[in-house]
Structure 1
Amino acid sequence: MRHHDIDQDMRNLAFDFFYWFSRFEFALKERRFLKNEVIGARADPSWDKFAKAHRAAYVVSPAAKALLAEKPRRQIVGDPEHDFENLTFSPNTAELDKVVAYAKAVRNNLFHGGKHGHDQWDAPARMRRLLKLTITVLAELAALGDFGGDYDRFY
């Protein structure tokens, strides 16, 4: 999709997605879900620690089921062009871990992934579905983590 082909609705949706994704990662850091807790270390959010802490309480929502069904793919190195592959999970992978992996794949593909010539990411209708579903799932995960104002900025 070329810049001049992106309609205002898609621009707004992409902005909303990045806004809520960044708020979620901010909330992860504020709630001490960090990759490294050593004083002076970079404050990188740990989705894995969040998932581990909330697996038992997680209930898959309709939006999460739809995101799981959409199966966002990840970009891989190809020869000569990059390609996309399905994410694979072990049989005992918790649903929350899958939902988190797919939400991160949507973010990575939108921000870093290929936007040309691929049947998945050059399709505006699919992009809209993935963005809307992930925005909904992020709000649900923020509620699960009781992130409150750290997520929605209502203090």
Structure 2
Amino acid sequence: MRREDIDQDLRNLAFDCFYWFSRFEFALKEKRFLKDNTVGARAEPDWDKFVKAHRGAYGVSPAAHALLVEKPRRQIVGDPDHGFEDVPFSPNTADLDRVVAYAKTVRNNLFHGGKHGHDQWDDPARMRRLLELTITVLGELAALGDFGGDYYRYY
């Protein structure tokens, strides 16, 4: 999709997705879900710690279920062109693990992915749906983690 073909609504959704994704990662860091807690280490959010801490309490919402059904795909190296594949999961992967993986996939594809020619990423309706679902799911995950003001920036 060329820049000039992206309507303002879709641009706003892309911005909102980046905004809420960055707020979520900020909240992860504030709640000490960090890859390394050593004083002086880089403050990197650790999604895996969040998932492990909340896996047992997680219930799939309608938005999360819809994201699971949509199955965002990740970009892979191809010869000669790059392609997309399903995100691999083992049969017993928990719902929270899948939902987080898909939300991160949407963000990664939006930010890094080469979407040209691929029907799932060149389709504005699908992009809109994935962005809306991801934004909703991030809000639900923030509530699950009791992120409050750190997520919504109300202190």
* TM-score bucket (shorter structure): over 0.9
* Structure-2 residue corresponding to 1:78: 78
Where does residue 9 of structure 2 map in the other structure?
Answer: 9
Aligned residue number for residue 63 of structure 1: 63
Structural RMSD (CA) = 0.6
2:57 is paired with a residue whose SS is: coil
| CA distances 1:32-71 after superposition (whole Å, capped 9, x unpaired) | 0011111211111011000000001000000000000000
- Counting aligned pairs with the same residue, the percent is 81
**In the alignment, what sits opposite 1:153?**
153
How far apart in 2 are the matches of 1:10 and 1:91?
34
Consecutive unaligned residues of structure 2, counting only runs of 5 or more, are none
Helix, strand or coil for the counterpart of 2:74?
strand
2-structure distance, mates of 1:125, 1:151: 27
Deviation of the 1:72 alpha carbon: 0.3
2:55 aligned partner, one-letter code: R
Unaligned ranges ≥5, structure 1: none
* Paired residue secondary structure (2:66): helix
Structure 1 Cα separation of the partners of residues 121 and 36 of structure 2: 33
* Corresponding pairs, count: 155
Distance in 2 (CA, whole Å) between partners of 1:154 and 1:97 is 28
Segments of 4+ moved more than 3 angstroms: none
Moved more, 81-90 or 34-43: 34-43
